[in-house]
Amino acid sequence: MVFVLATRNRKKVDEMKRIFKGYDIDFQTLDAFPGCPDVEEDGKTFRANALKKSRAVARYTGCPALADDSGLAVDALDGAPGVYSARYAGKNADDLKNTGKLLREMKDLEDKERAARFVCCIAVAFPDGRTRTFTGYVKGTIGRKKRGVNGFGYDPVFFPDGYNKTFAEMSAGEKDALSHRGRALKKFYRYVKSMVSA
C-alpha cells in the first residue's frame, strides 16, 4: 500500500521510513505534492492535530495519508509542553530553544518530580473519509542537562524508564524499539496487515 506522509519534518520522515524498512509499505513524502498546503496545528490534543493533517493531505493528494502529532508531557508542568512541544519557546523556536526553556522551568524540581512521557498519535485518513488513530507512549524522566547528539526535539534530556542514557545517546535502532512513535507505528502496521488479509 502507498501512504503519503503528511509532514515536512525531514527527521520525522527519516524516522518513520527507518522504522518501516523491510515492511511492505511504500511511503511518499509531500515533496511529491509541492502544492499541498501547510496545515495549522491548532487542535487541543495530539489526536485532533494528527487527524486534521491526515484528512487535509488525503483530500489534496487523493491518497491515504499518514500524519503524526507528538510531544513531551511533563507531570510537574501540568502536561506541558504537550501539543505546544514544537513551539514551546515561541512560534519560530527550534529544538535548542525549546529544550532550554524546559530545563529552565524545571531547574528547581527534585529528581522525583521530573517524571515525563513522550506521546505520539498517528492518524491515517483515506480519500473516502475513513480515519483511524493509534497512540504510543514512553515514560521516563527529564535530566538536568543535555546529553547525546542523536535524535531531535527533547531527546537529549529524556531518559526512558529503566535506562541511564537519553534518547539522544541511543542508536537509532535502540530508540526505535522504545519510542512513542515506534509503538504507535507498530499499531498502525498491525491495522494495515489486517486490512490486507481481510
Give 103-147 pLDDT, tens digit per residue. 999 999 999 999 999 999 999 999 999 999 999 999 999 999 999
Instruction: State what percent of residues in the chain have pLDDT above 70.
Output: 97
Instruction: Find the helix packing angle between 10-19 and 180-197, rounded to 10°.
Output: 50
Centre a 10 Å sphere on the Cβ of residue 1 and count the other Cβ atoms it contains. Answer: 11
Q: Domains in the chain and their CATH numbers? A: 2-197 (3.90.950.10)
Q: Is 69 a catalytic residue?
A: yes
| Averaged pLDDT score across all residues of the chain | 92
Backbone angles phi, psi at 135, to 5 degrees: -120, 140
Mean pLDDT of 155-171: 97
Distance, CA of 102 to CA of 73 (rounded, Å): 11
pLDDT of residue 195: 77
> What is the value of pTM for the model shown?
0.89
Distance, CA of 122 to CA of 184 (rounded, Å): 6
Distance, CA of 148 to CA of 82 (rounded, Å): 23
The single-letter DSSP state of residue 33 is -
Give 23-38 pLDDT, tens digit per residue. 777 888 888 898 998 8
Residue 151 pLDDT > 70: yes
Which entry of 14, 31, 68, 69 is annotated as an active-site residue? Answer: 69
pLDDT of residue 197: 64
Residue 162, sorted as left (phi over 0), alpha (psi -120 to 50) or beta, turns out to be: left
Q: Which are the contacts of 114, defined by CB distance < 8 A and separation ≥ 6? A: 74, 76, 106, 141, 142, 143
Least confident of 10-14, 20-24, 88-92: 20-24
Note whether 131 and 52 are within 8 A (CB).
no
Instruction: Find, among 71, 65, 68, the residue nearest to 30 by Cα.
Output: 65
